[in-house]
Amino acid sequence: MMRTSNPAMNPAAFAAERSYAPGQAMTVQGAVNKSFILFGLLLFTASWVWGKLMTPTEVLGYEAAAQQTNSAVMPFVVGGGIVGFVVALITIFKRKLSPYTAPIYALCEGFVIGGISAIFEHSYPGIVIQAVGLTFGTLFCMLFLYKTGVIKVTQKFMMGLAAATGAVCLVYLINFVMGFFGSGIPLITSSGTFGILFSVVVVGIAAFNLVLDFHIIETGAEQGAPKYMEWYGAFALMVTMIWLYLEILRLLAKMRRR
């Protein structure tokens, strides 16, 4: 049984219903098309927040503009994050609703991505375009390595990656809880050698999760999963892409602070 550390990419979701008639079954191209639609929706709301919050720095200066952006952006980040999280849970447990919930999730995450990007851009000018380029560069690189067979998805590969991703989630959870007590894990936020190495490892784990996403979407199509699973597959791929982008953004920020 295939397993992936992306909770949205549980292979059981694709294997639950099979052998649909031609035209009614999921296809890889269909999932790709849905992915473009979702990323277009995310880009729409992200661009709107970006344009609304990016006060010209030549007017206020970088520091003043950053402070103003940080206070103005939080309603978008928090609100979009909460609604997006709820919609994501609905999508995971009610997969048949994914044609409706996946676009809503993309719109909500656009607010989050646009807001966080504006904060980072004011603090580190030029960092967002670098992060976007590296994110899509990683996507195409991992797709190439997967399609050419350089990276083979085996049971051991999936189990090891699932364990690594779970460990990262546990570290982030502990750091989140410690934050309520005014503390935290320095390794996560440090711009020193160990902090940068930690971020490099996390970016690598997120990148390899893309391979699992490709593999399970392809397998779902081979198994004749229902048509609505194209939306679900696109949604799950977006979850990984958002994680990868945020981790690359964090890594670049650490390197700028050195």
> Which domain covers residue 76, as residue numbers?
20-257
- Please give the pLDDT value at position 2: 42
The pLDDT-based confidence of 8 (bands split at 50, 70, 90) is low
Per-residue pLDDT band at 66 (split at 50, 70, 90): low
pLDDT for 79 equals: 92
Domain contains 27: yes
pLDDT of residue 67: 60
Contacts of 60 (CB under 8 A, 6+ apart): 68
5 domain-assigned: no
What is residue 190's three-state secondary structure?
A: coil
Q: What pTM, to 2 d.p., does this model score?
A: 0.86
pLDDT for position 3: 45
What's the number of domains the chain is made of?
A: 1
**What proportion of the chain, given as a percentage, has pLDDT over 90?**
59
Within a domain: residue 6? no
Asked if the model's pLDDT at residue 88 lies above 90, the reply is yes
- 108-126 per-position pLDDT tens digit: 999 999 999 988 988 888 9
> What digits encode the pLDDT tens for the residues 191-213?
888 889 999 999 999 999 999 99
What is the band of 65 on the pLDDT scale with cuts at 50, 70, 90? low
Tell me whether residue 187 is in a domain.
yes
**Arithmetic mean of pLDDT over the chain:** 86
Predicted confidence (pLDDT) at residue 63 exceeds the cutoff of 90: no
- pLDDT value at position 131? 97
Q: The tokens of 3 are what? A: 């397993």
Query: Which residues on neighbouring strands pair with residue 226, listed in sequence order?
Result: 25
Asked, for residue 215, whether it belongs to a domain, the answer is: yes
What's the pLDDT score for residue 70?
Answer: 63
User: Token pair of 140, please?
Assistant: 């195409």
Higher pLDDT, 258 or 227: 227
Residue 258: pLDDT above 80? no
User: Given the structure tokens 């229902």, which residue do they identify?
Assistant: 226
- In a domain, residue 131? The reply is yes
Task: Indicate whether 23 pLDDT > 90.
Answer: no
The answer to whether residue 219 sits within a structural domain is yes
Q: Is residue 12 part of a domain?
A: no
CA–CA dist 202, 214 (Å, integer): 19
Residue 71, both tokens: 């206070």
